[in-house]
Structures are given as structure tokens and as C-alpha cells.
Structure 1
């Protein structure tokens, strides 16, 4: 089974597991959402319009009387659209909303199904070029949602494909522009500081695959040393 097929299987499993989430009367901000919108959100999941799903995906929790339950119920629609590049909502924002919905505390089958999507999506991204969602955006969503970066970097290290190397070059070029990597956060509210882990990974784990002389610039090396040896001088 290809990595893309594994991703589709994981998304189908997500649909099946979350099907147990019953519709419920959705109430919230009637200034932003009319009676028809609320009725639609209270009905069958597959009948919720493609326009309403991204609105819910991005909306602040305070707009809903029961945000965690609504976000949990719409998760299969939100995530399928997100990983296939059809949601058009900032990936960092989706990650933050999932954290606000406390997805890791959901019933084990739900949380496990979502984690399987993260794993399948990340591997499919590293084996696809170009992928529907950029490698940086995928990594941002997954890291922001899971609250961990290193496991996903380790998978990238172990994935020696032409697609993974091409995406690595593009990723490096992006994060080294104006030294963004020295202050790189993940999550819509900058919840996760990825700078030290990411720079260390680039300088040590994949340096042999990163053909970019900027990684040898003294400023970057000095910044890395300072961030990994706080309070010390060289």
C-alpha cells in the first residue's frame, strides 16, 4: 500500500470512528451565524456545507456554547479538507483550535484515529512532490496539535527520498530567510518554540543533505550555541 493510500485509509478510519459523535443542538453567536447556519451545524455531518466547515475550523471558541463538542464532531470534515489542501485555513490556527478543544483527552479511539492521520499524512507528505500542503505547513499543524516536534523530525531524517530532500531544500530556504529560524514558533498564538530543536536538527541530523552555505554562517552557529548552552560563554 502506498503512503497516499495509507493516508486515505487513515482518513476513512477517522470518518468511521467519529461517526459515533451524534448531532446535537448547536448554539452560539447569532450575530455571526444565522438560524440556518446553526440548524445546519445541528444536522447530519455530511450535509454541512463546504463553506461552513472552514468557518467553524477557524472561529474563536467563544462563539460557540459548546466549542469542544462542535469541533470534535466536525473534526473528520476539517481534517480531511486540511490534509488535502482544500480547507484554506491557516494550519497553525487549526492546530491551536484542536489544542483548545483538548483533542488528546477525547475518548481513546477518537484520539488514536486522529494520531494515525498525523502519522500517515506526514509520511505521505515526505514521499510526495509536490504535496497538496507544503511540508512546512504540514509540520506546523502536526507539531502544534501534538505539542511535539522531534518525532516528526526523526521521521524526516529517516526518509531518504527525492521528494523529502527537495522539500528539505525548500524548507531550509524558507526558514533561513532573514534568519527566521532563530525565532520560529508554531501555533497561531506561538505556543510552541521550535527554534532550538529545528536548528539543532538542521546542523546535526541532516547537514549532509542540506546544501545551503547559510547554515555555516557564524551568526547562526553562535545563536545555536547560545540557545543550547544558556548562561554560558564560548
Structure 2
């Protein structure tokens, strides 16, 4: 799915965005209100990570939607849980169905690539936690990991070991027990079947010692 095509019709704010003038120059705010293709990479990254109260809610969703293909490139190249934090304020559930589906699929693809390219466990953990901000729910993304094939075994086993030995998820909606879905997943049949296939007995031992 081509994100550029999906989001090409998003209306623009037009003119200047009424954002924080302490953190952003007039030229930055004007760029954010115009053609998303003209926004510098550094400004895309800053916008995606910025605290929500720096932006008026009636404009924020339009800017986010217009920059969505660029923001997901930031997520893929510079994983950070903050990058998708703003989706709730951007009223993601109200977006056209095609746009919502495109975001979900692209994030799935980003996570899958991280699982099959031998990337560092912290990078994968960050991507999974960032993805959870789409719906404020980590469990579906752990279930998604279970659907990936044997080429993801090593990365997922390493992630399981990381969480079993004290790694903490960073979830910016601050659930009461952020590790609850992780505990359920660590003891799930799907994960243990994968660990058996990967001969990752050391990870099973780490989980059993939790």
C-alpha cells in the first residue's frame, strides 16, 4: 500500500498552524500548515515527538494525517515510543477507514522487518511499544508477533528474554499495570511453541524465574 497515495487527499490547514511560538518559529508553523512535502525532516520529527498541548486540537489531526507517511518513516529509521503518541489527540478512530488501515499495515511491516533483520532488542521493543499507542493496547501487537514466521524466532526470543529479566514497557497512556499483557504473552502457548522451535531453553528458564 502506497502511503503517499492514501494520504494525498488530506485537507491542509492552510496558512499558519496556531502552535507554540516559543518552540517553533513563524516559518515552521507556516510550513506545517502547507504542503507536507515541503516540511523538513527535522520538523516532521519534532512535530511527531512534541507534547500535544503545543498544538490546537482542531488543527492537529489534519497536520498529523498530512504528515503520516513522513512520520512513519521517522518511526522506522529512528524508533521512539513518542512518535505515535499523538494519534489519540489526532482522533485516529475518526479517520477514513483506508487511512487507519494503511497506518496499521505500515506499522506491522515496520515491526516485522525489525524482527527479521537481526536488529537490537531495544529497537524492537521500542517499535512494539510505539505501535501499542495506535489503540492504547499492547496485547494485539504481541499477538501479531505470534503470527510471524521462523525467521523472526531469534528476535522474538530475545525480546521475551528482555522482558522476562526486567525490561519495562514505555506506554505513554500510563495503564495501571503496563506489564500485564507482557506477562500473559510470556506464558502463552504461542510463545513457548516458538521458543521450543528455536531451542531457546534459556529464555524459558528466565520466564520461569520471574
What TM bracket, shorter-length normalisation? 0.7 to 0.9
Cα distance, 1:186 vs structure 2: 4.3
Q: Is contact 2:93-2:100 (8 Å) kept?
A: yes
Cα distance, 1:130 vs structure 2: 2.6
Cα distance, 1:106 vs structure 2: 1.0
TM (norm. structure 2) is: 0.81
What's the counterpart of residue 162 of structure 2?
A: 174
The alignment status of 1:68 with 2:89, answered yes or no, reads no
Q: Is contact 1:95-1:144 (8 Å) kept?
A: yes
Q: Is contact 2:61-2:91 (8 Å) kept?
A: yes
**Residues 28, 154 of structure 1: CA spacing in aligned structure 2 closer, same or farther, 3 A cutoff?**
closer
Q: Is contact 2:114-2:124 (8 Å) kept?
A: yes
What is the number of equivalent residue pairs in this alignment?
A: 198
Cα distance, 1:118 vs structure 2: 2.5
Gaps of 5+ in 1: 1-9, 221-234
2:23 to 28, 32, 35: 32
User: Which moves more between the two structures, 46-55 or 125-134?
Assistant: 125-134
**Residues 106, 185 of structure 1: CA spacing in aligned structure 2 closer, same or farther, 3 A cutoff?**
same
Q: Is contact 1:57-1:97 (8 Å) kept?
A: yes
Gaps of 5+ in 2: none
Cα distance, 1:27 vs structure 2: 2.0
What's the counterpart of residue 232 of structure 1?
A: none
The alignment status of 1:48 with 2:39, answered yes or no, reads yes
Structure 2 Cα separation of the partners of residues 76 and 82 of structure 1: 10
The alignment status of 1:200 with 2:200, answered yes or no, reads no
TM (norm. structure 1) is: 0.73
Q: Whose radius of gyration is greater, 1 or 2? A: 1
Deviations 1:164-221 (A, max 9, x none): 22212321332233x34xxx4542242474422222222232224042222122xx3x
Q: 4+ runs of 1 displaced by more than 4 Å?
A: none
Cα distance, 1:57 vs structure 2: 0.6
Cα distance, 1:20 vs structure 2: 0.7
Cα distance, 1:126 vs structure 2: 2.8
Structure 2 Cα separation of the partners of residues 64 and 147 of structure 1: 21
